A = this chain, B = another copy of it.
């Protein structure tokens, strides 16, 4: 290990989601309409809270995956629009609940819903969005898609609970951490990608390919997110370098630095993560240790490993603009920086 990977390496014109955005533009228009209508309620606090997060400028990558994955197999109905909206609602609900659990003040450069409307409203509006997501899935009428997305909902919740149990635990192994992000992040990417071929009545092999693509893309995405938190540029992240550190989150760069470190270095990590000693000076020292142990470069290396698996998952599928756009997403995720 210890290969120095320049985080800028993957930057080239194809490492963008422009093609994905173009291919799904029309369908995403319908998703956005559906989001607004299904987040609506006579209880005015519901659309207020929901729209605060929904309109906060997320990339809406997950619903685009669903749309492109359905288009790829020639789907012509409107079920994919509803499923894509369900996926985005599941994601939004998770974020609302996460911010409560993590006691976060800021997300995407804005105050979190819980800081404005309180924890209770955040939890309940999240529940409402989950309920609406299930109603839309039922409306599509595909038991298989329902099975995939409802299983994902359970797995995500399970992953969040698992994360509680590893929180602030510096002894967490890389395997254990991968289990957490596989559940917490990769499960929704996987379900989002798989319901495309499902609604389009594609083959079992096509479903497996998209499922595998989604899982591994999700793992790569999360690992790059972890790396960016220590290596990125604030303006493009919507969060500050070191946010994970200040919140005492045990992510892969921390796990690798802790495991590879000396006894003294491990004491530093304990005081930082377990005892919240995370001011700027300590962040600077953390970054120095990460550099010493190649922790960020190796985190990116691990992400590249999963990116490679995602790429091979799609390899046997017919060449379509959608397939190329989904492959670009892998490069985009990995080269995502400033």
Residues of A within 8 A of B (CB): 1, 171, 173-176, 204-205, 208-209, 211-212, 215-216, 255-256, 258-261, 266, 298, 301-302, 305, 308-309, 311-313, 315-316
CA distance A175 to B301 in the complex (A): 18
Please state if B316 and A258 are interface contacts (CB–CB under 8 Å): yes
Please state if B171 and A208 are interface contacts (CB–CB under 8 Å): yes
CA distance A215 to B1 in the complex (A): 18
Please state if A313 and B173 are interface contacts (CB–CB under 8 Å): yes
A302 — nearest CB in chain B belongs to which residue? B305
User: Smallest CB–CB gap between A150 and chain B, Å?
Assistant: 21
Count this chain's copies in the assembly.
2
Please state if A256 and B312 are interface contacts (CB–CB under 8 Å): yes
User: Smallest CB–CB gap between A200 and chain B, Å?
Assistant: 17
Q: In the complex, what residues of B have CB within 8 A of residue A211's CB? A: 173, 175
User: Smallest CB–CB gap between A31 and chain B, Å?
Assistant: 28
Interface of chain A: mostly helix, strand, loop or mixed:
helix
Among B215, B216, B259, which residue has its beta carbon within 8 angstroms of that of A316?
B259
Known interface pairs A1-B311, A298-B308, A305-B305; A212-B259 also in contact (CB < 8 Å): no
Please state if A173 and B209 are interface contacts (CB–CB under 8 Å): yes
CA distance A302 to B305 in the complex (A): 7
A173 — nearest CB in chain B belongs to which residue? B212
Ranked nearest first, the 5 interchain pairs of A and B with the lowest CB-CB distance are A171-B205, A259-B315, A173-B212, A1-B308, A175-B212
A313 — nearest CB in chain B belongs to which residue? B173
Q: Taking each of A174, A209, A312, which has the highest tally of chain B beta carbons within 10 Å of its own beta carbon?
A: A312
Among B174, B205, B212, which residue has its beta carbon within 8 angstroms of that of A313?
B174
CA distance A305 to B302 in the complex (A): 7
A305 — nearest CB in chain B belongs to which residue? B305
User: Smallest CB–CB gap between A209 and chain B, Å?
Assistant: 6
Q: In the complex, what residues of B have CB within 8 A of residue A298's CB? A: 308
Among B174, B204, B205, which residue has its beta carbon within 8 angstroms of that of A312?
B174
Q: In the complex, what residues of B have CB within 8 A of residue A255's CB? A: 312
Please state if A316 and B266 are interface contacts (CB–CB under 8 Å): yes
CA distance A208 to B170 in the complex (A): 12
Other A-B contacts than A171-B205, A173-B208, 5 sampled, CB-CB below 8 A, are A171-B316, A255-B312, A259-B315, A266-B316, A302-B305
A266 — nearest CB in chain B belongs to which residue? B316
Q: In the complex, what residues of B have CB within 8 A of residue A1's CB? A: 308, 311-312
A-B pairs with beta carbons under 8 Å apart, 11 shown: A173-B212, A173-B313, A174-B309, A174-B313, A175-B309, A175-B313, A176-B212, A255-B312, A259-B312, A298-B308, A301-B305
User: Smallest CB–CB gap between A2 and chain B, Å?
Assistant: 9
User: Smallest CB–CB gap between A187 and chain B, Å?
Assistant: 13
CA distance A216 to B173 in the complex (A): 12
CA distance A266 to B317 in the complex (A): 12
CA distance A168 to B170 in the complex (A): 43
